[in-house]
Chains A and B, each alone.
Chain A
Amino acid sequence: MIIDALPPGIILILGALLIPATSGIVRTIVVTGLPLIVAWLVWQVPDGAAITAPFLDYQLTIVRGEAVGRVFATVFALMSFAGGVFALRQATVLEITAAYVYAGSAIGVAMAGDLITVFVFWEIMAVGSTLVIWAAGTEASYRASMRYAAMHLFGGVVLMVGVIGYVQTTGSVDFVLMTPHDFATWMILIGFLINAGAPPFSAWLPDAYPEASPSGAVFLSAFTTKTAVYVLIQGFAGTEFLIYVGLYMACYGIIYALLENDMRRILAYSIINQVGFMICGIGIGTEMALNGATAHAFTHIVYKALLLMSAGSVLYMTNKRKCTDLGGLFQSMPLTCICGIIGAMAISSFPLTSGFISKSMISQAAADQHLTFAWFMLMAASAGVFLHAGIKFPWFVFFQKDSGLRPPDPPGNMRFSLILFAFLCIALGVYPDPLYAILPYAVDYVPYTVDHVVKMLQLLLFSGLAFFIMLPSMKRTLTISLDIDWFYRKLGTTIAIRLVNNCSQVRDAVENLARGRLNALLAVVSRHHGPESLMARSHTASSMVMWVAVLLAVYLLIYFI
């Protein structure tokens, strides 16, 4: 047993449990201070196994110091801070507590050195995130949280099967690079991919996240999918199959976001699109690609949270979430609008924003490896990001028609988080060196070349032109788009209801038949043996005397014959 550091994830989880016991200024200090302390602790963990403990016959590495994990743990802590401030005055205590437990377990995964520890934190994450959705307190959020929990518990079981199989075959619990070559490793990979929102299990994300509270969705956008990206980098970097999974996700996110009317669901689909870029990078697996996936996860958490804070502010101030009900809000919510646009520019990888310095590493890696198909798809998807999230979100929420709504910008704590993350999006875009310095491999990449800036501007501006050319055919409708979840939300329930109905009909028929036969039998019995029937009739004494006399007469007659 070694203890060389304090466990940052566990400290955040335990600290979160203090939040309900506090109030007023103390709660403000706990909520804002905890993530900062945890971020500091992450950097106090030395390289290699820092905390180990024996469990059954195995040696668990509960905390491991390692480059990729540190980047993820740092951004998770940063995210908890901004999310905590954003939620501080408006969210319920349950939500903030659950969100911090959720963040702590995500950090736990990012610093875990063995598969059992990964699995334990993985499951705490599922519980924490379910509670965050549930904390919104509406009927819709309750139902969504139950569907979400079912999907993640299923994913957890798949992962557990894989881990047990892996430990059986290799005899080791260490979380190291694997290749999916047997049942156990495939199960682990599938368990990870379910949390990443990979097909066919993507629908849980746009189903559940938009049902959370305005601040709940901000927390949710950050941890589950990015923890999955982290474990895929550690466990399955270079697995070629992931390139195609990633490309599919990048395109899926765009197509569904284009069809969507709910502003936060548009952003939820774009999470899948962005995670697609990262998973594609993991599949490519070169140092450049893995640096790109790691850096992109970092910048993505920041700008996606910013976008969801912007959407959350609109939802909080107007209580409306559909593009058809919104529009023209730039007039009364200038700060929310500008921060939303900065987030939208960053997700689209505009030069001078954080997306530009991270995503381009992934496409550069595809170009370096001469992955023609992947590169052309990534370029198309990059253009599509601007289309579905970069313009569509700000356009339909803050511009387009005038909805007549004139809400002011949100309260101070929400504005603080918006400004902080908007600043970070630009700061990382202008000065990427601090981020590049903590990436797992030495960065041999210069984002700002004239050539790269010009090409990216051409790609993005012309996709912007496409948006405005196609605008008439993108008129928002009061619709949702069916997804794979149709099979369990509609087909499955319809079959179950039919089955129940049909079974009851069969049972009724059998029962009726049996009842009919039984009644017939009873009728026969009661005809002969029932009251007043032949066999049960009572007789008077005189008639009995007469019958005795008759019998005697018959007897005498027979005797004489």
Chain B
Amino acid sequence: MNRTEMHWLRRPKTIRKLWHWGLGLLAATALLDLVVHGHAYFGVDGTFGFYSWYGLLTCVAMVVIAKVLGIFLKQGDDYYDN
């Protein structure tokens, strides 16, 4: 498929733009902690950027855990047919 036929959402230029806008949005939401002060129930959840880093790190951790478990649990998808 040549470039003129390519859906606009698939063009590398659009994808680059999406990354820039996305990262900008992430920074903006994280920085909202400077102005928004909510009620903290456990102490650490009231610190700057808690929800941002907690969301990021727990998700990375879950992918890593899944990856490690996958070593033991993954089998070909015809495993039970044989």
Number of interface residues of A (CB under 8 A): 56
Q: Which B residues are CB-close (under 8 A) to A482?
A: 72-75, 79
Q: Which one of B22, B29, B37, B72 contacts A457 once the chains associate, using CB atoms below 8 Å?
A: B29
Cα of A380 to Cα of B33 in the assembled complex, Å: 19
Interface string of A379-414 (1 = CB under 8 A from B): 110011011000000000001001000000000000
Number of A-B contacts (CB under 8 A): 143
The verdict on A489 contacting B66 (CB below 8 Å), with A383-B59, A458-B51 known, is no
Cα of A458 to Cα of B34 in the assembled complex, Å: 13
Cα of A449 to Cα of B62 in the assembled complex, Å: 29
The verdict on A463 contacting B74 (CB below 8 Å), with A451-B39, A458-B51 known, is no
Q: Which B residues are CB-close (under 8 A) to A251?
A: 62
A465 and B26 form a contact (CB under 8 A): yes
* CB-nearest residue of chain A to B79: A480
A465 and B56 form a contact (CB under 8 A): yes
Instruction: Give B34 Cβ to nearest chain A Cβ, in Å.
Output: 11
Q: Which one of A372, A375, A466, A490 contacts B59 once the chains associate, using CB atoms below 8 Å?
A: A466
Does A419 make an interface contact (CB < 8 A)?
A: no
The verdict on A402 contacting B62 (CB below 8 Å), with A462-B51, A465-B56 known, is no
Does A460 make an interface contact (CB < 8 A)?
A: yes
Q: Which B residues are CB-close (under 8 A) to A479?
A: 70, 74-77
* CB-nearest residue of chain B to A473: B67
A460 and B55 form a contact (CB under 8 A): yes
Cα of A466 to Cα of B66 in the assembled complex, Å: 14
Does A536 make an interface contact (CB < 8 A)?
A: no
Does A330 make an interface contact (CB < 8 A)?
A: yes
B58 and A454 form a contact (CB under 8 A): no
Instruction: Give A519 Cβ to nearest chain B Cβ, in Å.
Output: 42
CB interface residues, A 183-218, toward B, < 8 Å: none
Q: Which B residues are CB-close (under 8 A) to A379?
A: 51, 54, 58
CB interface residues, B 22-52, toward A, < 8 Å: 22, 25-26, 29-30, 32-33, 36-39, 41-42, 49, 51-52
For A368, A370, A462, the residue with the greatest tally of chain B CB atoms inside 10 Å of its CB is: A462
The verdict on A383 contacting B63 (CB below 8 Å), with A372-B42, A451-B38 known, is no
Does A259 make an interface contact (CB < 8 A)?
A: yes
B80 and A255 form a contact (CB under 8 A): no
Interface string of A437-459 (1 = CB under 8 A from B): 00000000000011110111111
Cα of A455 to Cα of B36 in the assembled complex, Å: 9
The verdict on A470 contacting B63 (CB below 8 Å), with A259-B70, A259-B73 known, is yes
Q: Which B residues are CB-close (under 8 A) to A477?
A: 74
Does A232 make an interface contact (CB < 8 A)?
A: no
Q: Which B residues are CB-close (under 8 A) to A469?
A: 60
Cα of A469 to Cα of B62 in the assembled complex, Å: 13
Does A361 make an interface contact (CB < 8 A)?
A: no
Q: Is the interface of A mostly helix, strand, loop or mixed?
A: helix
* CB-nearest residue of chain B to A322: B77
Q: Which B residues are CB-close (under 8 A) to A478?
A: 76-77
B25 and A461 form a contact (CB under 8 A): yes
Q: Which one of B51, B59, B60 contacts A455 once the chains associate, using CB atoms below 8 Å?
A: B51
The verdict on A380 contacting B58 (CB below 8 Å), with A461-B29, A477-B74, A480-B75 known, is yes
Cα of A490 to Cα of B81 in the assembled complex, Å: 10
A331 and B7 form a contact (CB under 8 A): yes
Q: Which one of A367, A462, A466 contacts B41 once the chains associate, using CB atoms below 8 Å?
A: A367
* CB-nearest residue of chain B to A456: B51
Instruction: Give A480 Cβ to nearest chain B Cβ, in Å.
Output: 5
Cα of A169 to Cα of B7 in the assembled complex, Å: 69
The verdict on A387 contacting B63 (CB below 8 Å), with A466-B56, A480-B79 known, is yes
CB interface residues, A 463-516, toward B, < 8 Å: 463, 465-467, 469-470, 473-474, 477-483, 489-490
A481 and B73 form a contact (CB under 8 A): yes
Does A82 make an interface contact (CB < 8 A)?
A: no
Does A258 make an interface contact (CB < 8 A)?
A: yes
CB interface residues, B 1-15, toward A, < 8 Å: 1, 7, 9-10
Instruction: Give A234 Cβ to nearest chain B Cβ, in Å.
Output: 29
Q: Which one of A255, A458, A473 contacts B55 once the chains associate, using CB atoms below 8 Å?
A: A458
Q: Which one of B36, B55, B65, B69 contacts A462 once the chains associate, using CB atoms below 8 Å?
A: B55
Q: Which B residues are CB-close (under 8 A) to A254?
A: 62, 66
The verdict on A370 contacting B36 (CB below 8 Å), with A331-B7, A473-B63, A478-B77 known, is no
Does A261 make an interface contact (CB < 8 A)?
A: yes
B77 and A452 form a contact (CB under 8 A): no
Q: Which B residues are CB-close (under 8 A) to A261?
A: 77
For B52, B57, B76, the residue with the greatest tally of chain A CB atoms inside 10 Å of its CB is: B52
Q: Pick the 7 closest A-B CB pairs, nearest first.
A: A451-B38, A466-B59, A462-B55, A458-B51, A380-B58, A258-B66, A459-B55
Q: List 28 A-B contacts (CB under 8 A).
A: A261-B77, A387-B63, A399-B9, A449-B38, A451-B36, A451-B37, A455-B38, A457-B29, A458-B51, A458-B52, A459-B55, A462-B26, A462-B56, A462-B59, A466-B59, A467-B59, A469-B60, A470-B60, A473-B67, A474-B63, A477-B74, A478-B77, A480-B74, A481-B69, A481-B74, A481-B75, A482-B73, A489-B80
Additional pairs, 10, CB under 8 Å, beyond known A372-B42, A379-B51, A479-B70: A379-B54, A457-B29, A460-B55, A461-B29, A463-B56, A465-B56, A467-B59, A482-B73, A482-B79, A489-B80
